[in-house]
Amino acid sequence: MTLCSTLALVLHLALATGGVIAPKPAPQAADDTSGAQAAWDQLDAIKGEGADGELTGEGLSAWVDTEKVPTLMAIVVFGLLMFVYQRKAKAGQEISIRRIAGLDAMDEAIGRATEMGRPVLYVPGIDEIKEIQTIYSMMILRHVARKTAEFGTDLIVPVKDSIVLTFAEEAVKAGCMDAGRPDAFVKDNVRYLSNEQFAYCAGVAGIMAREKPAANIMLGMFFAESLILAESGFMTGAIQVAGTAKQHQLPFFVAACDYTIIGEEYFAVTAYLTREPNLLATIRTGDFTKWIGITLLIMGVVLATKAVGAEGITWADVFLRLAGK
């Protein structure tokens, strides 16, 4: 719902900014029959607002919080876009997603490990399976397992959570089945290390030092251990591909890894690899929603700019109007 919240905020600001150009006139005498005042009075009656702007509990305000209308509009727009793009994806219509450099790097890293006769290490992050990044990491793990099975390369997957262990085993097994090589699945290579953050980090660093994987793929939710893992892998000379939507950890991956999948690219990678209609629709809907938000912001800036200087309105008035004061 983050995209919906963002769109709702933009709609709210655009509507508030637009109101600056034609502000509500001050209350007039009872005999005033101007069309503008009559229109505002009619709107207030519908919304259930009194002359002072307070809700009276009548009209629309008795049933709907009128301040939440932009949020409702954003949810409706987002839902309609999702429905349209899901229908297109399920009907087989191509929804293009640009190729990300990290995708090519993953295949290159697996090929290099095969040539060197050394394993591939896949680290799915340290969070629980309920975390969306961990779920997406399991989808990518299936793709990596399929590639390693096709090339006959060992795949080592250390996990921090016992429930994630079960999901990781199933993902690797499914990847081997996709490659037509179910015998390539080695259960002992999917390893539960520890539920403690830095104990798990030390265990992964130990695997890097002892088994010398030629490729380290780290995709998921990471915290303070990200730099330790990236530096440990760098010292072994492995090619490293890392990705996370946790923005605080991205600088460490950028500094110590060969390729980094940044922010929303992480989710786009999953949609690109799986071609799942729901995921493709989510990516395209998010892009379209951003364009709507950018358009509304530009419109708001133009309207606010035109309002400055008109009828004595200043920039301070514009900002106060945007703040709802």
The per-residue pLDDT for 37 is 59
Summarize pLDDT for 48-107 with one digit per residue, the tens.
Answer: 555 555 555 555 556 667 677 778 888 898 899 889 988 888 888 888 877 787 888 888
Which residues in the chain are classed under CATH 3.40.50.720?
A: 101-275
Percent of the chain with pLDDT over 90: 47
- φ/ψ of residue 246, rounded to 5: -85, 100
The per-residue pLDDT for 264 is 83
The per-residue pLDDT for 102 is 80
Q: What is the mean pLDDT of the chain?
A: 82
The residue ranking higher by pLDDT, 306 or 257, is 257
Q: How far apart are CA 300 and CA 10, in angstroms?
A: 9
The per-residue pLDDT for 107 is 87
Q: Are 274 and 103 in contact (CB under 8 A)?
A: no
Pick the CATH number of 101-275 from 3.40.50.720, 3.90.550.10, 3.40.430.10, 3.40.50.10540: 3.40.50.720
Summarize pLDDT for 243-255 with one digit per residue, the tens.
Answer: 999 989 999 999 9
Q: How far apart are CA 208 and CA 276, in angstroms?
A: 33
E-state strands within 81-168: 120-125, 155-159
Q: How confident is the model at residue 213 (pLDDT cuts 50, 70, 90)?
A: very high
Question: pTM of this prediction?
Answer: 0.72
CB atoms within 10 A of CB 205: 19
Q: How confident is the model at residue 22 (pLDDT cuts 50, 70, 90)?
A: very low
Average pLDDT value for residue range 303-325: 63
From residue 65, give the alpha-carbon distance in Å to each of 51, 74, 81, 322.
Answer: 18, 15, 25, 19
Identify how many contiguous H helices and E strands the chain contains and give both numbers: 12, 6
Q: How far apart are CA 96 and CA 223, in angstroms?
A: 32
> Angle 132-151/101-116 helices, nearest 10 degrees?
40
Closest CA to 62 of 51, 74, 46: 46
Summarize pLDDT for 232-275 with one digit per residue, the tens.
Answer: 999 999 999 999 999 899 999 999 999 999 888 888 888 888 77
Q: How far apart are CA 262 and CA 253, in angstroms?
A: 9
